[in-house]
C-alpha cells in the first residue's frame, strides 16, 4: 500500500498534478449539507458549550499525544508574538493527517480556525464536534464561498487566525512545498491582514530510526508576510502568494539542505541533457 502511494506521488509530481488527491475516493460519505442556513461560527449556547469543553481537551491531550507520538516541536514562536493580537491568515504545507492538530497547537488552540473541504463536515455529533473545534467548510457554490468569506472577515477582525492549506490536496509526509492555490492570499489582501507561513518538517532522528518510528514533526513559524496595499487585487494576491511560497521554499532548503526540485523538473533536465549529448 505504501509503495503504491509513493509511486502515485511520483507520478503526480512528474505530471504536475500537485493538487490531486492521492486517495482518489473522496470521503464524501455522510457529508453534511451546507447552504444559506448554515452558521459558520459557533453562536448557539450548545455550540459555545461544546467549544468551551473541547478546546482545552485538544490543548492538553493533543499536546501530550503529539509529543510522544510524533516528537512534535515548534520553532519560530517569536514570529507569532510579533503580530501580537492582529488577525491573520496562516498557510501550511498539507503533509500530515494530523496537520490541523499540529497547526492548532502551534498557533493557539483558541485563536485558530481551519478551512477544509465541505465533505469533511459530517452529519451528527462528529460534525458538531468538528465545527466546535473551529472548522470552516469550503463549499462549491458562490453563496457558500460568500458565507465563508464573511466568516473569515469576522474572525480576523476579532484577532483570530484562519488557516488554509493552499496546496489543496493532502500528500502524507511529503517534504517539498507544492504550488499554491490563490484563495488564502486573496482573503489576506481583501481583509488587509498578514499571512503567517507555517512549514512542517519531517526530521529523522537516530532514536526514532532505531525504534522504527515515524519521523519527528517539527513545525516552523516563519515571519509574517504583509500584502501590498496598492494595485489590483489579482496582482496583489499573486505577489503575496509568490513571496510566501518563496519563503517556505527557502525554509525547505535550509532544513533539508538540498534544493527543491520536482520530478517533472528533473525529467526535463534529463531530456535536455540527452538532446545536447
Task: Say yes or no to pLDDT of 244 above 90.
Answer: yes
pLDDT value, residue 26:
60
Of the ranges 11-15, 38-42, 135-139, which one carries the lowest mean pLDDT score? 38-42
Neighbours of 168 (CB within 10 A): 18
pLDDT in tens, 52-72: 999 999 999 999 999 999 999
Range 209-213 contact pairs with CB under 8 angstroms and sequence separation of 24 or more: none
Task: Say yes or no to pLDDT of 269 above 60.
Answer: no
DSSP letter for each residue of 202-223: EE--HHHHHTTPPPEEEEEEPP
Nearest Cα residue to 96 out of 174, 197, 18: 174
SS3 135: strand
Judge contact between 178 and 18, C-beta under 8 A: yes
pLDDT value, residue 24:
62
pLDDT in tens, 212-236: 889 999 999 999 999 999 999 999 9
Place of cell 519521523: 215
The predicted model scores a pTM of 0.90
pLDDT value, residue 273:
44
Mean pLDDT across 5-13: 89
Q: Which domains does the chain have, with CATH numbers?
A: 17-261 (3.40.1130)
Task: Say yes or no to pLDDT of 118 above 90.
Answer: no
Amino acid at each position: 500500500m505504501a509503495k503504491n502511494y509513493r509511486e502515485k506521488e511520483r507520478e503526480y509530481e512528474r505530471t504536475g498534478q500537485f493538487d490531486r488527491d492521492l486517495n482518489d475516493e473522496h470521503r464524501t460519505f455522510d457529508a453534511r449539507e451546507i447552504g444559506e442556513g448554515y452558521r459558520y461560527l459557533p453562536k448557539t449556547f450548545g455550540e459555545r458549550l461544546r467549544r468551551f469543553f473541547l478546546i482545552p481537551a485538544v490543548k492538553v491531550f493533543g499536546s501530550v499525544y503529539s509529543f510522544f507520538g510524533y516528537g512534535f516541536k515548534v520553532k519560530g514562536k517569536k514570529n507569532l508574538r510579533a503580530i501580537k493580537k492582529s488577525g491573520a491568515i496562516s498557510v501550511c504545507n498539507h503533509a500530515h493527517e494530523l496537520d490541523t492538530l499540529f497547526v492548532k497547537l502551534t498557533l493557539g488552540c483558541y485563536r485558530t480556525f481551519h478551512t477544509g473541504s465541505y465533505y469533511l463536515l459530517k452529519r451528527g455529533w462528529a460534525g458538531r464536534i468538528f465545527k466546535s473545534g473551529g472548522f470552516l467548510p469550503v463549499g462549491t457554490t458562490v453563496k457558500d464561498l460568500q458565507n465563508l468569506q464573511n466568516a473569515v472577515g469576522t474572525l480576523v477582525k476579532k484577532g483570530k487566525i484562519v488557516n488554509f492549506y493552499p496546496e489543496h490536496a493532502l500528500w502524507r509526509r511529503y517534504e517539498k512545498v507544492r504550488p499554491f492555490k490563490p484563495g488564502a492570499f486573496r482573503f489576506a489582501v481583501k481583509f488587509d491582514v498578514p499571512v503567517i507561513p507555517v512549514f512542517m518538517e519531517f526530521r529523522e532522528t537516530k532514536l526514532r530510526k532505531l525504534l522504527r518510528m515515524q519521523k519527528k514533526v517539527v513545525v516552523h513559524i516563519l515571519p509574517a508576510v504583509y500584502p501590498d496595499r496598492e494595485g489590483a487585487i489579482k496582482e496583489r494576491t499573486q505577489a503575496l502568494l509568490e513571496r510566501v511560497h518563496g519563503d517556505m521554499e527557502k525554509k525547505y532548503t535550509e532544513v533539508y539542505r538540498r534544493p527543491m526540485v520536482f520530478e517533472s523538473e528533473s525529467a526535463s533536465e534529463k531530456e535536455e541533457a540527452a538532446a545536447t549529448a
